[in-house]
Each structure stands twice: as C-alpha cells, then as structure tokens.
C-alpha cells in the first residue's frame, strides 16, 4: 500500500505513539533510510544502493535537491539558540541557496509578519514562548520556498493555548493550497484541513481515505478503537 501527496493537498498521518508516523515522515525527507519500497518526488524515483539495513541513497546530489525542495518543521522547534529569529529564518536561503542577502531579509521579515511575530525579529529563541518559537520555525521552513512542507507533530510540545496559535498558522497555509504532510495528534485539525488522512498501526498503513469517510465510517477495528480513545 502506498501514500501519495498531490500538489496543493494536505495529507495527515495519524496513529498511536510508536506506530511509525514520524519515521515515515523522516523517510520522505531522506533523514531516515527506508529499507524497502520506493520514494518518488515530483515523479522522480529516489536512487538506492544496497539492500535491507544497508540500503542508502545512491545519489548525493539528488538527496540535496530533494531536501532543498522539502522543508520540515519539527516537534521541538530546533531553532538555533545563538541566532536572532530573523537570522534563523535567513540562514538556510543564504547558506544553502546562496541567495541575495537583501532579498532574503525582505522575504524573512514578510514571513515573520505572516505568522504573526514580525515584532520578534531581533530577539533570541529563549526570549520567546513555545508557540512563538514554533511559528518562527514555520517561517524558517517557508523561507526556502519549498514545494512541500513536512510537519512532525508541530503542536505536541505546546500547552493548549499556545497550540492554537500554531494551528491557526497551519490552517491558513492549508487554505493557501500549500502541499503539506502532517503528523499530528490533533484529530480535529486532521479532519478539518486534510484532503487525505492515513492511519498507521504497528508500522503499516491500516487505513486511509478522505477525512469525512475515515472519521465518520472507519472500516478497521483498530481505527475504530483509536478514534474512540481520542474522542474520550
């Protein structure tokens, strides 16, 4: 069974802890080496060498090209503590893409305004709330102008009030038609913003489909149990 993220669509990965959601997401970005199966990006298959546990990407240039086209937002923000928020957002376009500094700065400032923290350009991550830091991480991901965004449980490290700040930004990105793959524990968000939802269980795709179908009429007993538990 396979997963496909169409251009402009949001795919949410749900499931209990340890089901393989984050691992699958990291395999998409080639941060983890999958031991079997194929990964295609924009129709281009990833080239592999070796088999099983020894399998690795065969083309370093291809890996760099794919990673440059994908931006990942992590659960724990992963901002650089020694840099201001503006510097955090500017760093990758400058060092990876070698873009013009003035253009990058203008884009970075606009993105920080876009996520609601334009007044935080000159502060450091430690001086910000968790919700503000995660919004900065989203701005940093957007600064690379990626073809798709990957979110690994972007709200799970936040308390409920701060969580809503980040959910609002993710919802707005979905409304813009951004291509996104999202690992989340927030069933309401997955239901409301997704074009397609995938339920993972014990490292396998147990069930997938449109959110209206998957949440209202789950076919597998395991998904029924999971949704009942998350609704409790």
Encode the chain (232 residues) as per-residue pLDDT tens digits.
Answer: 889 999 999 999 999 999 999 999 999 999 999 999 999 998 899 999 999 999 999 999 999 999 999 999 998 889 999 999 999 999 999 999 999 999 999 999 999 999 999 999 999 999 999 999 999 999 999 999 999 999 999 988 888 888 889 999 999 999 999 999 999 999 999 999 999 999 999 999 999 999 999 999 999 999 999 999 987 6
Helix (H) or strand (E) holding 41: strand 40-41
- Per-residue confidence (pLDDT) for residue 232, from 0 to 100: 60
pTM of model > 0.85: yes
Sheet containing 10-14, strands listed edge to edge, beginning at the edge strand earlier in sequence: 70-73, 148-152, 180-183, 10-14, 196-201, 204-209
Sign of CA dihedral 113, 118, 122, 126: negative
Q: What topology does CATH give the domain 10-79+147-231?
A: Rossmann fold (3.40.50)
Cα→Cα distances 187→12, 163, 165, 192, 211, Å: 9, 13, 17, 8, 10
- What's the pLDDT score for residue 77? 87
pLDDT at 72: 94
Token couple for 181: 């793959």
Per-residue confidence (pLDDT) for residue 161, from 0 to 100: 84
Q: Contact at 8 Å (CB) between 9 and 181?
A: no
The pLDDT value recorded for residue 231 is: 77
């Amino acid at each position: 069974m396979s997963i496909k993220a169409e251009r402009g669509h949001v795919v949410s990965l749900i499931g209990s802890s340890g089901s393989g959601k984050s691992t699958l997401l990291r395999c998409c970005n080639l941060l983890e080496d999958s031991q079997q199966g194929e990964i295609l990006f924009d129709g281009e298959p990833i080239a592999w060498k070796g088999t099983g546990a020894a399998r690795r990407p065969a083309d370093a240039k291809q890996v760099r090209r794919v990673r440059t086209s994908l931006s990942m937002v992590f659960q724990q923000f992963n901002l650089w503590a020694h840099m201001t928020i503006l510097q955090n957002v500017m760093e990758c376009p400058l060092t990876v893409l070698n873009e013009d500094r003035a253009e990058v700065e203008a884009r970075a400032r606009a993105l920080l305004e876009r996520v609601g923290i334009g007044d935080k350009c000159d502060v450091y991550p430690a001086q910000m709330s968790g919700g503000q830091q995660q919004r900065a991480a989203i701005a940093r991901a957007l600064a690379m102008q990626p073809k798709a965004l990957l979110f690994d449980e972007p709200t799970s490290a936040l308390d409920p009030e701060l969580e809503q700040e980040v959910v609002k930004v993710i919802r707005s990105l979905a409304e813009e038609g951004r291509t996104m793959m999202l690992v989340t524990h927030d069933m309401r968000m997955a239901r409301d913003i997704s074009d397609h939802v995938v339920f993972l269980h014990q490292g396998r795709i147990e069930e997938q489909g449109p959110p209206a179908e998957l949440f209202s009429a789950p076919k597998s007993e395991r998904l029924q149990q999971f949704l009942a538990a998350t609704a409790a």
